[in-house]
Amino acid sequence: MTKLEKIYEGKAKILYTTKKPHLLIQYFKDDATAFDATKRGTILEKGIYNNKISAKLFELLKNAGVPIHFVRLLNDREMLVKKVEIIPVEVTVRNITAGGMSKMLGLAEGIKLEKPVLEYHYKNDSLHDPLINDDHIQALKLATEKEMKKIARLSLKINEVLKDFFAKVNVTLVDFKLEFGRFKGKIILADEISPDTCRFWDSSTGEKLDKDRFRRDLGNIEEAYKEMYKRIFSI
């Protein structure tokens, strides 16, 4: 499948049309940004790791019955995906306090939550992706009540599948962000699942193995992505 026209360039990925109108090529860049792209950098070979990691996790979720936009891996940096209409709501699933939740509620990082916490953020960089709820989403017509019920149910299921998978490679899934889209009237998972969009802590040492190493200038960033890649492909 060859790339035709670039139709979208985001901070970490580019989307190209193909000769099939319902399929796109999703290309993963090495560019890294944080804090609404006020911090910018490059994580060498991140695009390769994120492409392959996402492909493996999408396959895992597909086998668990989660509808996904991923079709197949094309090469090191590209995957074929279904062309969805992205719902501009970032869904965060949290198992342990960290990042935005710790900041918002004045909580230490690392507190295990009694039950997974779902958060919705309006996907809008100029507004700094504000926290919104189901009422905002319906009032702004970002998604219907029925669609959000489906999204919440799928997000919790994805959390269960991923938590179990990562436990097998001695990684604690702290939190992660998902994006969904509409395809032929149905809600399906889109975007990526990678160390850019998840917090991964080594279950024995607590070492951070994700993009927080870039956000917080912790060093050994490439090594963390490579380590996650190795562990994910070890089973």
Q: Which residues bind ligand ASP (CB under 6 A)?
A: 11, 33-37, 211, 215
Min dist CB 204 to ligand ASP, Å, is: 26
DSSP 3-state assignment of 189?
Answer: strand
Stretch that binds ligand TMP, among 13-21, 45-53, 147-155, 197-205 (CB under 6 A): 197-205
- Pick from ligand TMP, ligand ASP, none: which does 155 bind, CB < 5 to 8 A by kind? none
- Among 31, 78, 147, 175, indicate the residue that binds ligand TMP (CB under 6 A): 175
Q: Is the Cβ–Cβ distance between 174 and 94 less than 8 Å?
A: yes
Min dist CB 1 to ligand TMP, Å, is: 27
Phi/psi of residue 142, nearest 5 degrees: -75, -35
Q: Is the Cβ–Cβ distance between 189 and 25 less than 8 Å?
A: no
Phi/psi of residue 214, nearest 5 degrees: -80, -50
- Among 46, 77, 82, 199, indicate the residue that binds ligand TMP (CB under 6 A): 199
Which residue, chain included where needed, has tokens 């996907």? 123
81 has which bridge partners? 24, 70
Stretch (H or E) spanning 216: none
Q: Does 213 bind ligand TMP (CB under 6 A)?
A: no
- Pick from ligand ASP, ligand TMP, none: which does 194 bind, CB < 5 to 8 A by kind? none
Min dist CB 32 to ligand ASP, Å, is: 8
Q: Does 198 bind ligand TMP (CB under 6 A)?
A: yes
The pair of structure tokens assigned to 40 is 């910018």
In the complex with ligand ASP, the residue whose CB is nearer, 28 or 183, is: 28
177 has which bridge partners? 92
In the complex with ligand TMP, the residue whose CB is nearer, 17 or 203, is: 203
- Among 17, 23, 73, 99, indicate the residue that binds ligand TMP (CB under 6 A): 99
- Pick from ligand ASP, ligand TMP, none: which does 215 bind, CB < 5 to 8 A by kind? ligand ASP
Q: Quick one: how many helices (H) and strands (E) in the chain? A: 6, 14
Min dist CB 101 to ligand TMP, Å, is: 6
150-177 exposure pattern, b = at least 16 Cβ within 10 A, e = fewer: bbeebbeebbebbbebbeebebbbbbbb
The pair of structure tokens assigned to 104 is 């918002």
Min dist CB 58 to ligand TMP, Å, is: 16
CA–CA gap between residue 106 and residue 133 (Å, rounded): 20
- Among 177, 208, 213, 226, indicate the residue that binds ligand TMP (CB under 6 A): 177
Contact residues for ligand TMP, defined by CB under 6 A = 92, 98-101, 175-177, 197-199
